[in-house]
């Protein structure tokens, strides 16, 4: 398989570069600049990308690469800091920008030399996203200037003979108009990629690798019903079916029919599927608790206890499987990331369960790739394209104390909201949407009688990263339909409100 190496110099867009490369159907991995040169060489890339970074290359303490990398005969594209690093390492000169005009931030009109392979097929001018305070005062010998802006004569440099390219802007961000074309040119025109990274192929390779690693060993997986653990389970089921035990702890705070949906999805494989109906147990522990953090803690701890009890019945296993995905690995800075994450993901399970090794079959995949793999494996679309659902489930969407009655009420109302959102096509626009059962009761009138029932809040947000979010502008007539249906079809609710706060200052969940 052809591979691209991305050397990370601490840039905020390192993950984005990797995603873009994979979207071009070329496999890549991000490795920190501190990785040993032998490791980078052994990776055997067809091309190398240097990411941006917050430092200045001319400072001795700044991240760098062993110059030997320039003798490998492998094409290199440096982005921002990476571009300056190429210039600095090969005899050019990078200095702080002398005046404000040479410093560039934000959207900048850029003029491309389309004779350069990197810009082949592009219009001669386009907007690019800049973010650099340093300036290449002198470009190294052998390099020519291949793009400029009104303020800066050397926005891009190239030594086409040796296959070294640098751009001061960020082709990976969506603000750069022809960014993907530029990356594609690097991959296909310069590195000679054929584009062999497809999920179908990956699935087969991953299955073969899992079979080899697991051998005749036994594997145990804690299944939450979320996308990651479901896809990990499906992949393992396909690879080592009868050696796999999935423990699905149903804490009784899932959405309507969710437990059955998860169970049904795995009926097609010959695996040991243990569904633990722990609703009573969880509700007993949660009775009378209204403080959000305590709810979370109780559920986390109880989850471990239930899983532990089931794991004991299974006995010793060789592998504990987890659904860790690539963003977790990159964010934790590679290296020790696996271990930190393993404990974090399952709340300390490895301390309780008798296993020899951890296996993380999705470790190298981005979320959208995980979803694609799920589809390849034949998981149903409702599981694969599921919106995020918090581990503590409806417990943090029932404000105040939790009872089975309240959970049932919320489940029905939430299902109506989701159904109407989907039939209005709004599920494509909102990234997360759900109902919240508030703790407020108010007076209403139904028929000829007075009611004193709960207020239900509807929440729908648009967001790309869930760190910030905006409330979704869904149509009034949709809200009207949802409101009418819920009040008519679900007992115990006589008032519906729509949450119109963004995050910040609110959060997406209410607790």
Interacting residues with ligand XMP (CB under 6 A): 296, 388, 390-392, 432, 466, 503, 507-509
Which listed residue (24, 28, 80, 246) is catalytic?
Answer: 80
Sheet holding 244-250: strands in order across? 272-277, 244-250, 219-223, 319-321, 357-359
Cβ-contact 270, 410 below 8 angstroms: no
Min separation Cβ 282 and ligand XMP, Å: 15
- Supply the DSSP symbol for 139: P
Which listed residue (152, 170, 191, 360) is catalytic?
Answer: 170
Min separation Cβ 511 and ligand XMP, Å: 8
Nearer to ligand XMP, 160 or 509 (CB): 509
Nearer to ligand XMP, 437 or 508 (CB): 508
Structure tokens at 394: 């409806």
Cβ-contact 33, 54 below 8 angstroms: no
Structure tokens at 348: 């300390």
Separation between Cα atoms, residue 421 and residue 165, nearest integer Å: 47
Tracing tokens 């109407």 back to the chain, one arrives at 420
Nearer to ligand XMP, 108 or 432 (CB): 432
Cβ-contact 172, 95 below 8 angstroms: no
Min separation Cβ 339 and ligand XMP, Å: 20
Nearer to ligand XMP, 210 or 232 (CB): 232
Sign of CA dihedral 163, 174, 505, 392: negative
170 is catalytic: yes
On the CB side of 308, CA atoms within 13 Å amount to: 14
For 474, list phi and psi in degrees, rounded to 5.
-85, 150
Grouping H, G, I as helix, E, B as strand and the rest as coil, residue 432 is strand
Min separation Cβ 300 and ligand XMP, Å: 8
Residues constituting the chain? 511
- Supply the DSSP symbol for 150: S
One-letter-per-residue 3-state SS of 405-454? HHHHHHHHHHHHHHHHHHHCCHHHCCCEEEEEEEEEEEEEEECCEEEEEE
Nearer to ligand XMP, 23 or 509 (CB): 509
Nearer to ligand XMP, 156 or 508 (CB): 508
Torsion of CA 81, 84, 89, 94, to 10 degrees: -130
172 is catalytic: yes
Min separation Cβ 412 and ligand XMP, Å: 20
Nearer to ligand XMP, 128 or 230 (CB): 230
Min separation Cβ 490 and ligand XMP, Å: 22
- Supply the DSSP symbol for 13: T
Could you check whether the bond before residue 505 is cis, i.e. omega within 30 degrees of 0?
A: yes
Min separation Cβ 294 and ligand XMP, Å: 13
Which listed residue (104, 172, 310, 420) is catalytic?
Answer: 172
Catalytic residues: 80, 170, 172
């Amino acid at each position: 398989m052809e591979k691209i190496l991305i050397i990370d110099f601490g840039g905020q867009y390192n993950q984005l570069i990797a995603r873009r490369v994979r979207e071009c159907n070329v496999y890549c991995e991000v490795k920190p600049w501190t990785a040993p040169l032998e490791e980078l060489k052994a990776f055997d890339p067809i091309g190398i990308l240097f990411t941006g970074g917050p430092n200045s290359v001319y400072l001795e303490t700044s991240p760098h690469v062993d110059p030997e990398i320039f003798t490998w005969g492998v094409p290199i594209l440096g982005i921002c800091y990476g571009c300056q690093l190429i210039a600095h390492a090969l005899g050019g000169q990078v200095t702080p920008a002398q005046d404000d005009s040479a410093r560039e931030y934000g959207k900048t009109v850029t003029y491309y030399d389309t004779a350069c392979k990197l810009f082949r097929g592009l219009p001669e001018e386009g907007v690019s996203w800049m973010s650099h305070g340093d300036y290449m005062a002198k470009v190294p010998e052998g390099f020519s200037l291949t793009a400029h802006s009104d303020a800066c004569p050397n926005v891009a440099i190239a030594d086409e003979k040796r296959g070294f390219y640098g751009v001061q802007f960020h082709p990976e961000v969506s603000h750069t108009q022809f960014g993907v074309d530029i990356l594609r040119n690097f991959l296909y025109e310069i590195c000679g990629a054929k584009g062999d990274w497809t999920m179908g192929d990956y699935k087969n390779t991953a299955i073969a690798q899992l079979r080899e690693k697991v051998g005749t060993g036994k594997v145990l997986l804690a299944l939450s019903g979320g996308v990651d653990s479901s896809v990990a389970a499906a992949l393992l089921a396909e690879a080592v079916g009868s050696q796999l035990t999935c423990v699905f702890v149903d804490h009784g705070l899932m959405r309507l029919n969710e437990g059955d949906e998860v169970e049904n999805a795995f009926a097609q494989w010959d695996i040991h599927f243990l569904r633990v109906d722990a609703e009573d147990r969880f509700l007993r522990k949660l009775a009378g608790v209204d403080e959000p953090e305590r709810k979370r803690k109780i559920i986390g701890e109880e989850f471990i206890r239930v899983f532990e009890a089931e794991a004991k019945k299974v006995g010793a296993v060789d592998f504990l499987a987890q659904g860790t995905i690539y963003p977790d690995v990159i964010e934790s800075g590679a290296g020790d990331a696996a271990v930190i994450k393993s404990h974090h993901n399952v709340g300390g399970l490895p301390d309780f369960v008798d296993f020899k090794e951890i296996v993380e079959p999705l470790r190298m995949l981005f979320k959208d790739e995980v979803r694609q793999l799920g589809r390849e494996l034949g998981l149903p679309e409702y599981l694969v394209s599921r919106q995020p659902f918090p581990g503590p489930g409806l417990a943090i969407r029932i404000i105040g104390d939790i009872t089975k009655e309240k959970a049932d009420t919320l489940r029905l109302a939430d299902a109506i909201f989701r159904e109407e959102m989907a039939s209005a096509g709004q599920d494509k626009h909102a990234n997360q949407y759900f109902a919240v059962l508030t703790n407020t009761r108010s007076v209403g009138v139904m028929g000829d009688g007075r009611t004193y029932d709960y207020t239900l809040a509807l929440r729908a947000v648009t967001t790309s990263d869930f760190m910030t979010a905006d409330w979704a502008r869904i149509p009034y007539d949709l809200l009207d339909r949802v409101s009418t249906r819920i009040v008519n079809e679900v007992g115990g609710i006589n008032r519906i409100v729509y949450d119109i706060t963004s995050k910040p200052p609110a959060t997406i969940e209410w607790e």
